[in-house]
Amino acid sequence: MLEGKTGLIFGIANKRSIAWAIAQAVAQAGARLAVTYQNERLERKVRELVGQLERPLILPCDVTRDDELDAVFEAVGREFGGLDFLVHSIAYAPREDLEGDFVQTTRAGFGIAHEVSVYSLIGMARRALPLMETRGGGSIVTMTYLGGERAVPNYNVMGVAKAALESTVRYLAYYLGPRGIRVNAISAGPIKTLAAAGVSGFSRMLGMYAQLAPLRRNTDPSEVADTALFLCSSLSRGITGEVIHVDGGYHIVGMPDIDQMAAWRDKDAPE
């Protein structure tokens, strides 16, 4: 599906990262990849993982640094001569802003959550634009969560950032569409990763999802990766500005089945 295509993936921290599942799926489909790691702390792990792929380009990038973003896109332009797809799988908020009373959200926490998790997508899209135009268009995919549409306990400022991210997807799609570039988001159900560990009560959340989602199980990273593959490929050529939920259908449930809830409470409610 992606034979002869090139992609750039941000957000691999370790083997559990959603970005790593996506990297494997798109590489399997034939794409050549550039990936980034946030800092030296993560470099070794990312090199080990990504070394399994075919001739990867591995570059440092803290997305709060314009010079590092510039260097990544310059290297990709030099090596690949263009870019067909970009995956943004990055988010951050200070831990103290991911629990407790939302009204206590700090100015600094609000700012950093939006800078890292939202503005970074705009900065990447701007730099990707000329590289994608040389290919006659491209596809940009980012990762979001239901906490951007509904209030979810403890997700707090990250939910506000995800709402901004989803709006950013629509604005980017609107402005980049005439240049042949599509921009979409995947709204994934909870998956146990490093970032998820920062959300207070995450394990209980996994239990809830498995009980309440119509598919009655948690989201597997490979399901998210296959959707990303679809969005990066020409199979999705008519789709832009969209948020696709890959969450076992959890987001469509208006009310849980009361009998099932009672059985769950009696038997196997999560700790």
Q: In this complex, which beta carbon is closest to ligand 0WD, that of residue 74 or of residue 257?
A: 74
CB of 92 to ligand 0WD, least distance (A): 4
CB of 212 to ligand 0WD, least distance (A): 15
Integer Cα distance of 5 and 175 in angstroms: 23
Question: CA 82 → CA 5, 79, 168, distances in Å?
Answer: 9, 8, 23
* Residues within the interface to ligand 0WD (CB under 6 A): 11, 13, 16-19, 38, 42, 61-64, 89-92, 116, 143-145, 188, 190-191, 193-196
Catalytic residue among 92, 155, 209, 250: 155
Q: Is 155 a catalytic residue?
A: yes
CB of 267 to ligand 0WD, least distance (A): 25
How is residue 57 annotated by DSSP? E
CB of 177 to ligand 0WD, least distance (A): 23
DSSP per-residue letters across 14-54 = STT-HHHHHHHHHHHTT-EEEEEESSHHHHHHHHHHHTTSS
Report the sign of the C-alpha dihedral through residues 108, 185, 143, 116, in that order: negative
Q: In this complex, which beta carbon is closest to ligand 0WD, that of residue 19 or of residue 76?
A: 19
Q: In this complex, which beta carbon is closest to ligand 0WD, that of residue 150 or of residue 238?
A: 150
Q: In this complex, which beta carbon is closest to ligand 0WD, that of residue 8 or of residue 188?
A: 188
CB of 146 to ligand 0WD, least distance (A): 8
Catalytic residue among 145, 171, 209, 250: 145
Interacting residues of 40 by C-beta distance below 8 A, sequence separation 6+: 60
Integer Cα distance of 267 and 271 in angstroms: 11
Q: Strands (DSSP E) along 74-137, which ranges?
A: 85-88
* CB-CB contact of 240 with 182 (8 Å): yes
Q: In this complex, which beta carbon is closest to ligand 0WD, that of residue 138 or of residue 190?
A: 190
Q: Is 145 a catalytic residue?
A: yes
Integer Cα distance of 100 and 173 in angstroms: 35
Give catalytic residue positions: 145, 155
